[in-house]
Structure 1
Amino acid sequence: MKHYLLIFDRLHGELLEEREFLDGDEALEARFAAEREGRPSHVEIVVLSADSREDIRRTHSRYFMSLGEIARG
């Protein structure tokens, strides 16, 4: 299983950062470090786990879509 750190700007519908980890603890440490940077409240920081990036894109597609794509549904 792989772990993906995603930093997403909800206000602008933009994925700011994406990192892949093989170790879940490392992914969580990276998440906590990113949270300590004091980002605005509209920036979402998550760690998602899946077998592949394609699985994450399918199950959490909004992180990979533009605002226009999200609005079109």
Structure 2
Amino acid sequence: MTNFLIVYNRPCGHVDRLEEFASPVEAMYARFGAEESCDFDSNYEVVVISAKDENALRRSHSRYFLEDVGTVAV
């Protein structure tokens, strides 16, 4: 399983940071640092989620990635 750190900007409705970690311990330390960087601002949601890969993460936690839906590359 891969561990993903997500920093989600609630007012803007998008992911500000998505980072992969092999170790859940490293992911949690990164989470604590990210929470501190955001000054524990309630406008940001900072989570660590384990998933098989990024595609599985995007399917299981799609609400974080809604901005990607309907995006068309030109």
The one-letter code of the counterpart of 1:22 is A
In structure 2, distance between residues paired with 1:47 and 1:39: 15
Q: Which runs of 4+ in 1 moved over 6 A?
A: none
> What's 1:18 paired with?
18
Mean Cα displacement is larger for which, 32-41 or 2-11? 32-41
Residues 22-61 of structure 1: pairs in structure 2 closer than 5 A? 22-37=22-37, 38-61=39-62
CA RMSD of aligned residues (A): 1.5
Percent identity between matched residues is: 38
> What's 2:2 paired with?
2
In structure 1, distance between residues paired with 2:25 and 2:48: 10
The runs of 5 or more residues in structure 2 that have no matched partner are: none
In structure 2, distance between residues paired with 1:9 and 1:36: 15
In structure 1, distance between residues paired with 2:40 and 2:29: 16
**TM-score when scaled to structure 2?**
0.84
In structure 1, distance between residues paired with 2:63 and 2:12: 12
Number of equivalences: 68
In structure 2, distance between residues paired with 1:39 and 1:17: 15
In structure 2, distance between residues paired with 1:8 and 1:14: 6
